[in-house]
Structure 1
Amino acid sequence: MVDATHISFTADDRSYFSLIKKEIHRMATEGGIGVARTNELDLIVAEMTSNLFKYSNDGELLVGVFANGGEPYVELISIDNGPGMVNPARMMQDGMSTTNTLGHGLGSMKRLSDTFELYSQPGWGTIVLSRVYNRQPPTGIKPSVVIRPIVVYKPGEKTSGDGFAFKKTEKYFKLMLADGLGHGPEANIAVNEAANAFRVFPDFSPTETIRFIHTNIKKTRGAVISVVGYDLERKMWTSAGVGNIAARFFNNTNLKNQMSYNGIVGHNIPNTMNDQQYAADEYNHLMLCSDGIKTRIDMARYPMIYKYDPTILASAIYKDHARRTDDMSVVIAKVK
């Protein structure tokens, strides 16, 4: 089922922290994480919530559990608008503290995590990423593509009207971001029907994929959709979109926005649509955003962020541009 990839927890009330830890523990256990790793996850959550309370303004913890092809993991993303750090690497050393504590927090989180990254700017805030796998993943393997989604449902809802889907063959990978009309369960049904059609359509073309989805979701509310494929041999992006899903192709110097067609998939789409292509040697990153993310994004605000896991960039976009009155989605894909 397609739904939110992450659940958001606020971290401004210390009395709430034990409930946050219990809920994340439950999510991890139900997601297939074993007892030993879940206990370590509890320690990471305790340190993250404590740091958010001590140092941040408007602290938020995003938590996602991913099946990962039978090798599940939990992703924790700590986001704050606090004072930030001048020297993050130094602050991760044991014994470093600005509040007269033992100063073991960041160091212990890093030791307990299979993936750990920290991005911070003075006066902007800090993002901490931790992933805990049920079994330690193999090292030294660098995939040809890394895709990192953040989908969070509208506050007050229990399911997301945005949905992300992905498929891969030996020749290409293809992904879809859809935003069902409205919010809540009916919008979620629309994006799930779209995801089902997306997965079974056998061809590569994003335009033809959207046409196929269109014929299969006519009994739903409909959705705005962007589909992007990447040819692994030709190293070429191909995309098409209907409605206000923003698609941007970029690297640290170049940027190109996809031009989407007007319409609503499932209700009315143009008779004439064409695939758009972009070479990966010019644009090795893709960003997809629903209208829950404001699109006036200045990448220069995030110096050195390209050297981090793409989740850090997705989290920075979410931190600065999320509209809290809507479902919120941002997907970053990076190719070699």
Structure 2
Amino acid sequence: MNIGGTLTLVLPVEDSSQIGHARRTAQRLAEQHGFDATDAGRVALVATELASNVLKHATHGELHLRALPRANGFGIEILAVDRAQGFDLHACLADGFSTGGTQGIGLGAVSRQTDVFDVYADARGAVLLARLYSRTDKAPDRRLGVSQHSLHNMAACGDVWHLAFDGANISALVIDGLGHGEEAERAGRAGEQAFALDPFASPTLLLEDLHRSMIGTRGGAVAIAQYDARQGTLTFIGIGNIGASLIAPDKSRGLASHPGIVGGQYRKAQPFDYAHVNGHLLIMYSDGLQSRWNLQDYPGLVHRHPAVIAAVLNRDFSRGRDDITVLVVALEAAHD
């Protein structure tokens, strides 16, 4: 299964009129991706309550929407993101609790409408995740998350991400086309097309395929990570300034890249192998994200859903002057 990268749809929530817009946008996204009236109604209900919650306890924030490709259709992801002074999570999860003093259905009731619900809140703000799948979709949730945003919300994004799955094995790609805008996106998409043809090929040969495909474009920085679930190993190869880390609850390791430009010029790249990575998080990010973040500064965040982690990192460490991609994947062992 291949998942081609898409931008995160961002909806500001700053006044009550935007709650209705968020509800309609989320419902329309669900309908466009095959949800029937009942399931699309659940999406609309959850979007309404999450947007209302942002407005009530934070006065302003955002909803982040994404369609999630599945083996037999799509799911819908909604993230509520704010920078308020935290809130009483246990109280908010009680049915009927409303931080604004009005009767709401409560986040507890929202959590029962969703297939995945997770929260991280501290003094810097809160991120709430809801994922909803069709009632007929019984496949397990994939523990991955991505937050991708173009500079100034342009339609074109020079960052590209792509994920391929073979059972529990994963091959992940992040490209940052030089600069931003349409030409940067053209460079990234050329590399993505080559990657999608054979994502589990030898990383060195795969990088050479991307290089040939990106010649004639601006070129860009590229990183490829391949996870072997049965062996518990990760192979990483990178050219340029795509950042990557392996995160465990008690430690983290940065993954090394080589200098150069794929589609331009680089010396032969060496892949690096990492053992015993089952249970780790793989985090890959373009240079639109500052590199000085440390998950240990966020107690408990390493145990939250990868989509929550990606949203927190984007919220707190975006440089604000380039396209940004944060890809977070939980590396889980294969089961017989």
TM-score, structure 2 length as denominator? Answer: 0.91
The equivalent of 1:309 in structure 2 is 305
Of 84, 87, 92, the match for 1:85: 87
Render the CA deviation track for 1:238-266: whole Å, top value 9, x for unaligned: 10111111011120112111121111111
Does 275-284 or 57-66 show the bigger shift? 275-284
- The equivalences for 1:62-211 within 5 A come to 62-86=64-88, 88-121=89-122, 123-135=123-135, 137-138=137-138, 146-169=143-166, 172-201=169-198, 203-211=200-208
Kindly provide the amino acid, as one letter, of the partner of residue 262 in structure 2.
V
Render the CA deviation track for 1:308-335: whole Å, top value 9, x for unaligned: 2111111111111122332111011112
Residues 208/57 of structure 1: CA separation in 2 closer, same or farther (3 Å cut): farther
Q: Is the 8 A contact 2:57 2:99 kept in 1?
A: no
The equivalent of 1:218 in structure 2 is 215
Residues 23/281 of structure 1: CA separation in 2 closer, same or farther (3 Å cut): closer
SS at match of 1:72: strand
Of 292, 300, 311, the match for 2:296: 300
Does 99-108 or 71-80 show the bigger shift? 99-108
SS at match of 2:148: strand
Query: What percent identity do the matched residue pairs reach?
Result: 25
SS at match of 2:152: coil
Q: After TM superposition, which residue ranges in structure 1, 4 or more long, deviate above 4 angstroms?
A: none
Q: Is the 8 A contact 1:3 1:159 kept in 2?
A: no
- What CA distance in whole angstroms lies between the structure 2 residues aligned with 1:238 and 1:67? 25
How far apart are 1:202 and its partner, in Å?
6.2
Aligned-pair Cα RMSD in Å: 2.2
Q: Is the 8 A contact 1:240 1:274 kept in 2?
A: yes
- Structure 2, unaligned runs of 5 or more: none
SS at match of 2:174: strand
- Structure 1, unaligned runs of 5 or more: none
How far apart are 1:138 and its partner, in Å?
2.9
SS at match of 1:189: helix
The equivalent of 1:328 in structure 2 is 324
How far apart are 1:296 and its partner, in Å?
0.5
How far apart are 1:21 and its partner, in Å?
2.6
Residues 281/173 of structure 1: CA separation in 2 closer, same or farther (3 Å cut): closer
Kindly provide the amino acid, as one letter, of the partner of residue 221 in structure 1.
R
Render the CA deviation track for 1:272-307: whole Å, top value 9, x for unaligned: 321111123487111001111111012122111233
Q: Is the 8 A contact 1:201 1:212 kept in 2?
A: no
TM-score, structure 1 length as denominator? Answer: 0.91
Q: Is the 8 A contact 1:149 1:314 kept in 2?
A: yes
Q: Is the 8 A contact 2:171 2:200 kept in 1?
A: no
